Amino acid sequence: MSTATAVNYKEVIERAIKAIHARTFFAEYPEHPKAYGEEAPNKGLEAYNTQLGKQFCGLLQQNPVAWVGEEVSPYTGKALGVTYPTFEVETLIVRAGRAFGQWKKLNADERAEILVNALDRIKLRFFEIAHATQHTTGQSFIMSFQASGPHASDRALEALAMGYEELNRFPSNIVWEKPMGKASVVLQKTFKPVPKGIALCIGCSTFPTWNSVPGLFASLVTGNTVIVKPHPKSVYPIAIVVAEIQAALQAKGIDANVCQLAVDSSSNLITKQLAEHPLVKMIDYTGGSSFGDYIESIPGKVTFTEKAGVNSVILDSVADLKPVVQNLSFAVSLYSGQMCTAPQNFFIPEGGIKQGDTVIPYEEVKKALVDAIAGIANHPQMGPGTLGAIQNPATVKRVESVKDISTVLLESKAVANAEFPEARTCSPIVLEADAHDKGVYENELFGPIVLIIKTKDTNQSIELAKSMAEKHGAITFSAYTTDEQVANTITEELESVFAPVSLNLTGMIWVNQHATFSDFHVTGGNPAGNASFTNPEYVNKRFVWVGHRRIQ
C-alpha cells in the first residue's frame, strides 16, 4: 500500500464543487504522466512486475475461503497469475452490515476527509494501475494510465464532491418558532441525511476503474458501505483502488469492511446472489443491456445503470471533409471500438453531402471515411497505439460473424504490434447498408464494427438516428452540418429522446470523450442507462432526509 502525504481535503472538495458549478475545464489529477515525478513510472512498473504470479495481499479482508484469479493479458496471451481472496456472499454481507453501523455515524466532513485521502493514496499508484489496466483490458498504456488513473480519480472526486454538497444542502439543527397570537410554538428541529445501507458496485471488463469509482465514491460519501464485484477478467486495477480505500479507512480507525472487494470466477459467479440479497439496497452496474435490464428489474433495489447504446453519426454538410473523416476514423479506431461511447452507425444521404458550394457524392464520402479508417490500421506506429488489443476473444468472433449480414467495404485484419507480437488485435470492419435494413444496424455491435447507412436525405438520417436512440439508447451522438437550421433540428430531435449531441467535432477532441466536471456521462433518459455521471440525483437516491422535532 502507498503512504500518502497529508492533503487539505476541504480545499480539494471546494475546488471540485466550484468546477461542478462552472462546468469549465478542471482536473484535480493531471493526465500527463510527467506530472507525477521522474521516479513514478519505474516504481509503478516494478510494483506491477512484482505482483505478477502472486497473491494480492493488499486487501484488509480477513480469512478468505480461497484464492482465485483468471486474468490474461490481451497483449501477451499469458496469465497474469495474480490471485485474489474470495469470501462467501453471506460473509461479505454480514461484514458490510457491521461496518455500516460505524460508517453511517460519521458526518459528511469526516467521510470526505477519508475519501480524499484515499484518492491521494491511489494517485501514488497510477502507474501500477496503468500496467494492470493495459494487461487486463487491452487498452494502450497511455490510455490505461489516463482512463484508469487521473480520469477515474477525477470522476470519483466529482461524485464525492456532489455528494458532499448535497449532504450539506440543509441545516442540521434549527430552532423553529411559529407565532400563535400571544404565544408561540417553539420546536427544536434536526435534519439528517440517512444512508440506505449496503451498496453493490458491479464492474466491467473494459474499464474496470473509470466506470466503477463514481458509484463507489457516491455511495461511500453518503454513508453507505460498498461491496465491489469486479469482472473476473479485470480485477487488478480496481483491487488497488479498494486496497487504498481500506488503508485510508484503517488509518482513521474505521472498519476496513466499509469497502470490500468481492472476487469470483467465471465458473462460479456470485453477482446475482449479491444483487438479489435483501440487505443490498443499491446497485451500480456497467455492462451489457441484457444483464442491465435484469438488474433494473430486481424488486426493492435502487439501481444506477450504464448499459449499451447504438451511437450514431449524421453527415449532412461540412466545411472540409478531410478533418472530419480524420476525426471520425480515430473515434471508431480508439481502443478498437471497445467503448460505450464509440460511434457505430454513420448515416449519409444518397445524394452526398455539401462541402461549401459543391456536393461530394455519396460514393466519395464513403470512400474517404473507409480510407481514413484503413489508414490508421495500416500505420505501423499509429495503428497499434490507437487500436490497442481486444479484451475478449468473443469480440473477434463478433467481427467475423458480421461479415455475412451486409456488404463489406473494409475487411478487418490483425494489426502487428512490434512491442507485443502475440497481441490479440483486430482492425475495424466497415459494412454498408441501406436505410431499410434496420435489422443490420439497429442493435449495438460491440467492438471495431462500423456501419455506413445510405439514407434518402438528412431528414431520414435524423429520423433513423432518433429512432435508434429512443428504442435502443445512445450514450453519444455526433453530427456534421454547416446549416444552422439543420443543426438546430438535429439538436431538438435528439434531445427529445435524451441523447447528447456533439456538432462538427474535428481536431484533438472526439465524440468518445466525456470531460469530468463538465460533461454528463450518459443522460439516464434513454435505454442506454438510467443514471448519469454525475448529477444530483446520482447521489441523492443513496440517502434519505429525515427530520426530527422536539418541543422546546
349-387 residue pLDDT tens: 999 999 999 999 999 999 999 999 999 999 999 999 999
What's the pTM value of the predicted model, to 2 decimals? 0.96
- Residue 155: which H helix or E strand, with range? helix 152-167
Closest CA to 302 of 282, 286, 287, 318: 282
The angle formed by the CA atoms of residues 481, 484 and 485, to the nearest 5 degrees, is 105
Do 253 and 368 share a structural domain? no
Rg (CA), the chain: 25
What are the backbone dihedrals phi and psi of residue 533, each rounded to the nearest 5 degrees, phi first? -85, 115
Predicted pLDDT at 3: 54
- Between helix 362-378 and helix 321-333 the angle, nearest 10°, is 50
Closest CA to 168 of 8, 9, 7, 13: 13
Predicted pLDDT at 2: 54
| Whole-angstrom distance, CA of residue 244 vs CA of residue 164 | 20
In a domain, 316, yes or no: yes
Question: Cα–Cα distances in Å, from 493 out to 155, 181, 454, 530?
Answer: 29, 57, 20, 20
Do 386 and 300 share a structural domain? no
Do 467 and 338 share a structural domain? yes
Interval 99-116: pLDDT, tens: 999 999 999 999 999 999
Do 372 and 302 share a structural domain? no
- CATH code for the domain of 423: 3.40.309.10
Coil, helix or strand for 177? Answer: strand
In a domain, 412, yes or no: yes
Q: Find cell 439538436 and name the residue.
A: 491
Do 226 and 316 share a structural domain? no
In a domain, 476, yes or no: yes
Which domain does 464 fall in, by range? 312-503
Predicted pLDDT at 467: 96
Predicted pLDDT at 236: 98
H-state helical runs in 189-258:
213-221, 236-251
Do 250 and 220 share a structural domain? yes
| Whole-angstrom distance, CA of residue 477 vs CA of residue 313 | 6
Do 540 and 486 share a structural domain? no
- Cell for 215? 458509484
Number of separate domains in the chain: 2
Do 541 and 439 share a structural domain? no
In a domain, 397, yes or no: yes
Tell me, what DSSP letter sits at residue 5? Answer: P
User: Residue 534, preceding bond cis, omega within 30 degrees?
Assistant: yes
Do 266 and 321 share a structural domain? no
Predicted pLDDT at 76: 98
Mean pLDDT, consecutive 10-residue stretches, the chain (552 aa), reads 70 98 97 96 98 98 98 98 98 98 97 98 98 98 98 98 98 94 93 98 97 98 98 98 98 98 97 98 96 97 96 98 98 96 97 96 98 96 96 96 94 96 97 94 94 98 97 96 98 97 96 96 96 97 97 87
Predicted pLDDT at 552: 81
- Cell for 268? 462460479
In a domain, 525, yes or no: no
Do 323 and 286 share a structural domain? no
Predicted pLDDT at 6: 63
Residues 6+ apart with CB under 8 A from 542: 163, 195, 196, 199, 218, 219, 222, 224, 282, 302
Predicted pLDDT at 4: 54
- CATH code for the domain of 139: 3.40.605.10
In a domain, 303, yes or no: yes
Do 441 and 374 share a structural domain? yes
In a domain, 252, yes or no: yes
Closest CA to 448 of 496, 497, 396: 396
What are the backbone dihedrals phi and psi of residue 394, each rounded to the nearest 5 degrees, phi first? -65, -30
Do 316 and 297 share a structural domain? no
In a domain, 511, yes or no: no
- 246: Cα separation from own chain's centroid: 22
Predicted pLDDT at 28: 98
